[in-house]
Amino acid sequence: MGGIGKATHTQLVYNDERVAKHFELRIWVCVSKKDFSLQRLVKEILEDVLGHVSHLNELNPLMLLLQDKLRGKKFLLVLDDVWNEKQSLWDPLKEAFRSCRTEDEYLVAIDEELVKKYCGGVLLAIKSLGGLM
C-alpha cells in the first residue's frame, strides 16, 4: 500500500545519527515493481557497499562477492518500494546475509521512540503502521 509514510518513517530511522554510528554499513536500494531482477538488486547493493560499479554481471559471482563484503559486518539494508512478495525470489538474497552479524535491541528502542513521537502514542495508529510495514 503506497503513500502512507512507510518510506518517510524508515528514512527517519535510517538517517538518525545514533543509527549511523551503530552500523558499519548503511545501504538503501529502491526495488522496482517493474522488471524485478535479483541480479540488478544485488548489483545495486554491491555498488552501495563498494562505492563503485562491480565488473561482475552474473548472479552467482555477484552473490559471492556480496557475501564476502558483508561477512562479519553489522549493516542496515533498506529495500524501498518492494512490491514482489514471491518468497522464492528472495531466498538467494537471504542466503547471502547468513554470514553477517546479528542485530541487538538498539534499533527497537529508537523505533519505539519515533513511533511515540510520530504516532502520538495512539494505539490504532501504531497497530496500523506496524501491520502495513
- How far is 52 from 33, CA to CA, in rounded Å? 24
Residue partners of 133: CB distance under 8 A and separation at least 6: 6, 9
Residues 19-67 have pLDDT tens digits of 899 899 999 998 876 777 889 999 999 999 999 988 898 999 999 999 8
- Is the pLDDT confidence value at 132 over 60? no
CA-wise closest residue to 42 among 23, 61, 18, 15: 61
- How far is 79 from 93, CA to CA, in rounded Å? 12
Residues 94-122 have pLDDT tens digits of 877 776 665 766 666 766 776 677 666 66
Q: Which amino acid is at 82?
A: V
What is the structure's pLDDT at 31?
A: 85
